[in-house]
Amino acid sequence: MSQAGTAQTEKGAAKRRCPVITEDGFILSMNPRTGETLKKIPITPADDVKKVVAEAREAQKRWAALPFFERERALKKVSQYFLDNMDTIAEEIAKENGKTVYEAVLMELLGAIDFITWFAGRAKKALKDRKVPLHLMPTARSYLTYKPVGVVGVIAPWNYPLITPISDIAPALAAGNAVVFKPSEFSSGVGQLIERCFKEAGFPAGVLRAVYGGGDVGAALVSSGVDHIGFTGSTATGKKVMETAAKTLTPVTLELGGKDPAIVLMDADLDEAAQGILWGGFSNMGQTCASVERVYVHEGVYNKFRDKLVEQAKQHLNMDAANPQSQFGSMNNELQAALVNNQLKDAEEKGANVLFRLETPKNDGFYVAPTIIDGVTEDMELFAAETFGPIIPLYPFSSADEAINKANDSPYGLSASIWTKNYNRGEMIARSLHAGVVTINDHMITPGFAEAPWGGVKDSGIGRIKSEDALRGFSEVKYIYHDRGMMPHKAWRYPYNKAKLAFLKDMAIANNDMSFVNRAKAYMRVLPQFLFGFKKQD
């Protein structure tokens, strides 16, 4: 989720080392590990956003007029460009975002490339006309048709600055829309990278545009007249986006926060669970809405699982800013690092037990020590608030019902995982969890699947991204009914009479009565009208 930056002067940048909005209208893109200023990016004046959207709307008309195969070819050239330049792109992402090059490839590039390719190739099939058979009017022609909504506004976060906007950009473009997107002020450099990749891949000019700045620019985009908003970020900001969009009845897709639970049952493969939960909680420095933030472990295996988790952490994890094989980068920005460290400090001061803590590099980077902890109680900030950092808290439970209740006792409902060898039991529990996505014996894997819908319930969002639903979600759905003159009866037209009323009642019986005999008798009574219509004297 994106966190709002505070406007600062360029003079204070070296000390604070988070993206700076300068007095002369620039964002300073900075390396969170070193404080190095990477580039100065001009801010888009909020008053100019409507103009950018209007220009994109003109380009969209030409883009939408292209046949599917030409749009597919243009998009696949972009995915090929990403493939051909993976090394340099990964380096750019890692440098501005703070993640390792390994995770820039694994968690950003691989998914982004696949999303563009998959949506480009899937659009024609997903958006072709769909027949809608009518049992009351079997001879009529009835179908759905799809056309692009127009211009889609995409507001992206800093934690996954490439794959998250591409999750909306790819289906929106494949469906024939233009896109105007705003990267987070903490990842504006990656926003420029996206623009550059599309341009250098020969993508049609004007169809993908970007605007840069803080919250005021994002608000301007929401109210600019775009036809759909795809927002990924904090729950608090998502509510503001929805409030603003409601004024113009602009549809929104909101992918928001999470406090995702993992449930380790007594029969789980503990080595596998420890390995999966360790990665699910610590990868990307825990800066993932679907990160494991609560681990519920059956009391019968609690101690054994705890020890395995700590053992694996000690064996496999290291954090060294100078080592390219380091498992961890830095946090993306000072604000988020401070939030996570404050949650951890609060928990320790109130009696939580630190089971594992990784030593951080001895420099001024935005680092939080990956930590495994138990003894967390309800009075600690860590208990209920989203952490968005590398802290894994453990909690014992005594029954599956208790674990389900604890997992559901949260305002969030993005994803969850269950660890068990009993797949039937795992699926039963999965159906009981209040979450948009549940995985069994894995965690945080499905966001990388283009075919799999992604999104949450409760305070975790509205709507779904990815899958064929995303292509249709960025389309206007039109229903067309064609009376082909093959139904002689018109019981709904004037003049009303007793014969038509009897026919309507019999139709209701023929289609819905629980008795087969009653349905058959009613069908025989209406059949003459179906075949020959009503007599004039009726």
Amino acid at site 377: T
Domain 260-451 falls under CATH 3.20.20.140:
no
Q: What is the pLDDT of residue 421?
A: 97
Q: Is the pLDDT of residue 453 over 60?
A: yes
Q: Is the pLDDT of residue 15 over 50?
A: no
Residue 297 to residue 305: CA distance in whole angstroms: 8
Give the CATH fold of the 10-256+469-477 domain: Aldehyde Dehydrogenase; Chain A, domain 1 (3.40.605)
What contacts 22, CB < 8 A, 6 or more positions away? 8, 9, 10, 28, 40
Helix (H) or strand (E) holding 90: helix 86-97
Residue 102 to residue 83: CA distance in whole angstroms: 15
Amino acid at site 380: M
The vertex-334 CA angle with 26 and 347, nearest 5°, equals 155
Does residue 495 have a cis peptide bond before it, meaning omega lies within 30 degrees of 0?
yes
pLDDT band at 14 (very low <50, low <70, confident <90, very high): very low
Alpha-carbon radius of gyration of the chain: 27
Residue 180 to residue 197: CA distance in whole angstroms: 15
Residue 326 to residue 107: CA distance in whole angstroms: 16
Q: What is the pLDDT of residue 1?
A: 37
Report the pLDDT averaged over residues 116-126. Answer: 98
Percent of the chain with pLDDT over 70: 95
Of the listed ranges 9-18, 114-123, 145-154, 335-344, the one predicted with least confidence: 9-18
Instruction: Read off the tokens for 293.
Output: 């933030």
Q: What is the pLDDT of residue 321?
A: 57
Instruction: Read off the tokens for 384.
Output: 């209920």
Q: What is the pLDDT of residue 7?
A: 36
Q: What is the pLDDT of residue 20?
A: 74
Pairing of strands 151-155, 228-232: parallel
What contacts 431, CB < 8 A, 6 or more positions away? none
Nearest to 257 by CA among 291, 289, 287, 292: 289
Q: What is the pLDDT of residue 22?
A: 84
Q: What is the pLDDT of residue 536?
A: 64
Half-sphere exposure of 182 (CA within 13 A, CB side): 32
pLDDT digits (tens, 9 = 90+) for 275-323: 999 999 999 999 999 999 999 999 999 999 999 999 999 999 988 756 6
Residue 337 to residue 368: CA distance in whole angstroms: 6
Nearest to 99 by CA among 8, 190, 19: 190
Would you mind telling me the total number of residues written for the chain in this entry?
538
3 state SS of 290: coil
pTM for the predicted model, two decimal places: 0.93
Beta strands in 451-505 (DSSP E): 457-458, 461-462, 475-482
Nearest to 448 by CA among 114, 101, 139, 57: 114
Q: Is the pLDDT of residue 476 over 90?
A: yes
Q: What backbone phi and psi angles, to 5 degrees, belong to 311?
A: -60, -45
Report the pLDDT averaged over residues 517-537. Answer: 87
3 state SS of 69: helix
For tokens 């190739």, what's the residue?
A: 121
446 and 437 Cβ atoms separated by less than 8 Å? yes
For tokens 């996505």, what's the residue?
A: 437
pLDDT band at 532 (very low <50, low <70, confident <90, very high): confident
3 state SS of 457: strand
pLDDT digits (tens, 9 = 90+) for 393-446: 999 999 999 999 999 999 999 999 999 999 999 999 999 999 999 999 999 999
Residue 486 to residue 470: CA distance in whole angstroms: 37
Percentages helix, strand, coil for the chain (3-state, rounded to 5) are 45, 20, 35
Are domains 10-256+469-477 and 260-451 of this chain identical in fold?
no
Q: What is the pLDDT of residue 23?
A: 82
Report the pLDDT averaged over residues 24-36. Answer: 89
Instruction: Read off the tokens for 310.
Output: 């700590």
Percent of the chain with pLDDT over 90: 83
Q: What is the pLDDT of residue 10?
A: 41
3 state SS of 132: coil
Instruction: Read off the tokens for 200.
Output: 């250098």
301 and 270 Cβ atoms separated by less than 8 Å? yes
DSSP designation for 454? B
Nearest to 330 by CA among 18, 9, 82, 113: 18
Q: Is the pLDDT of residue 9 over 50?
A: no
- Compute the mean pLDDT over every residue in the chain, rounded to the nearest whole number: 93
- Catalytic positions, written as ranges: 255, 289
Residue 75 to residue 162: CA distance in whole angstroms: 16
Nearest to 158 by CA among 198, 179, 188, 196: 188
226 and 66 Cβ atoms separated by less than 8 Å? no
Helix (H) or strand (E) holding 16: helix 13-16
Domain segments of the chain as ranges: 10-256+469-477, 260-451, 498-532
Residue 248 to residue 250: CA distance in whole angstroms: 5
Instruction: Give the CA diameter of the chain.
Output: 97
pLDDT digits (tens, 9 = 90+) for 312-337: 999 999 887 566 677 898 899 889 99
What contacts 449, CB < 8 A, 6 or more positions away? 466
Q: What is the pLDDT of residue 24?
A: 87
For tokens 């292209």, what's the residue?
A: 66
165 and 154 Cβ atoms separated by less than 8 Å? yes
